[in-house]
Amino acid sequence: MNPIVTPAAVNPTVDYLRISLIDRCNFRCQYCMPEGEELTYLQQQAYLTNAELLTLLQEVLIPCGFTRFRLTGGEPLLRSGIVDLVQSIAALPQTKDLAMTTNAFRLAELAQDLYDAGLRRINISLDSLEPETFDRIIGNRGRSRWQQVWQGIQVAHQVGFDPLKLNVVVIPGVNDHEVLDLAALTIDRQWHVRFIEFMPIGNAGLFDRKGWVDSATLRQQIRDRWGLTEAQVKGNGPADVFQIPGAKGTLGFISQMSECFCDRCNRMRLSADGWLRPCLLNETGQLDLKTALRSGESLAELRTRVKALLTAKPAINFKMRESGTTGAYARTMSQIGG
């Protein structure tokens, strides 16, 4: 008799690369950055230059099968020359999909140029609809930044980004009272709100104090209010997608805490200083592509090493970390490239 192979047990093609362009950020979100601690940032010469990044994409990563890219950080809109870089990556003939994750603080001024450069999909972090709560979450003490972010979202919508997704990390006692208000954004707008389970990465102290809310609880809350049906939206990620009946947009739930989706993982990460990582929370096998490139290692040799990492990837995952193999939690999402 043939063994029953469930879809979850089949290793998917790894063709999705999340590219961190910068480890710095203009926000200091409570859940992303450590408390009261100075972060050390990369020096300018440590960054992959645009030319190095494009060489790695064209000569190493694309030939190894990566064709779908997300630009992230830190805050990717702080990278100088971001529009030109977007244009160069979008113009690569093998690029099938190019997206960005941003906090949207600079989006109102840049959305049209980014769209014209070839960016089509955008995910924006929006953890609260209340300016005061928002400012508390992002660590802002000056003039409120909420309006600027909200305006960035509106401009991105007008410019035509589609799908336009809003990321929410739900933290008990911080913004969990807003779950229904955030979900309601999808009723009249073709926006896609995604609730991400809070992970103990970046600020483990906050995680220990506040805990986290699982996706099933959030879904139940929303189902009790409006009902929920299964739905679909374009994307490369592990979200389970639902919809309020009759709504224009959708609701996604990213449940990396309550449900291990390592078996479905289709991605690797490239950090701003050129480390290729097979797993968010596990540094086993990671490759220092920048140093290899700068020291003159041949592109053929780099391709061989990336292919070996792709072969090794299925065994490198969160589950392995749980068994105590590595301590990668010391890094924040902004350093790894969230």
The residue ranges that bind ligand SAM (CB under 6 A) are: 25, 31-32, 72-73, 75, 101-103, 125, 167, 169, 196, 198-199, 201-202, 333-334, 338
The residues binding ligand SF4 (CB under 6 A) are 25, 27-29, 32-33, 73-75, 103, 125, 333-334
Measured in degrees and rounded to the nearest 5, phi and psi for residue 76 equal: -60, -25
Shortest distance, position 205 Cβ to ligand SAM, whole Å: 11
Comparing CB distances to ligand SF4, the nearer of 125 and 282 is: 125
CA distance 214 to 196: 9
Three-class secondary structure of residue 254 per DSSP: strand
Spatial contact of 267 and 18, defined as CB atoms under 8 Å apart: yes
Shortest distance, position 227 Cβ to ligand SAM, whole Å: 27
Shortest distance, position 127 Cβ to ligand SF4, whole Å: 9
Closest residue by Cα to residue 32 from 215, 174, 240: 174
Shortest distance, position 216 Cβ to ligand SF4, whole Å: 24
Q: Which does 33 bind (CB under 5 to 8 A by kind): ligand SAM, ligand SF4, none?
A: ligand SF4
Shortest distance, position 117 Cβ to ligand SF4, whole Å: 21
Q: Which does 278 bind (CB under 5 to 8 A by kind): ligand SF4, ligand SAM, none?
A: none
Q: Which does 201 bind (CB under 5 to 8 A by kind): ligand SAM, ligand SF4, none?
A: ligand SAM
Report the half-sphere exposure of 293 (CA within 13 A, side-chain side).
24
Q: Which does 196 bind (CB under 5 to 8 A by kind): ligand SAM, ligand SF4, none?
A: ligand SAM
Comparing CB distances to ligand SAM, the nearer of 145 and 302 is: 145
Closest residue by Cα to residue 60 from 305, 303, 272: 303
Closest residue by Cα to residue 315 from 336, 284, 289: 284
Comparing CB distances to ligand SF4, the nearer of 206 and 333 is: 333
CA distances to 25, 198, 294, 322 from 202, in Å? 13, 10, 30, 17
Comparing CB distances to ligand SAM, the nearer of 163 and 202 is: 202
Comparing CB distances to ligand SF4, the nearer of 117 and 124 is: 124
User: Exposed/middle/buried for 221, CB within 10 Å: 0-12, 13-18, 19+?
Assistant: middle
CA distance 73 to 309: 23
Shortest distance, position 275 Cβ to ligand SF4, whole Å: 17
CA distance 253 to 242: 8
For 13, the token pair is 């093609």
Per the document, the length of the chain is 338
Shortest distance, position 221 Cβ to ligand SF4, whole Å: 24
Q: Which does 318 bind (CB under 5 to 8 A by kind): ligand SF4, ligand SAM, none?
A: none
Q: Which does 28 bind (CB under 5 to 8 A by kind): ligand SF4, ligand SAM, none?
A: ligand SF4
What residues have CB less than 8 Å from 9, skipping those under 6 apart?
A: 263
Shortest distance, position 169 Cβ to ligand SAM, whole Å: 5
Comparing CB distances to ligand SF4, the nearer of 21 and 292 is: 21
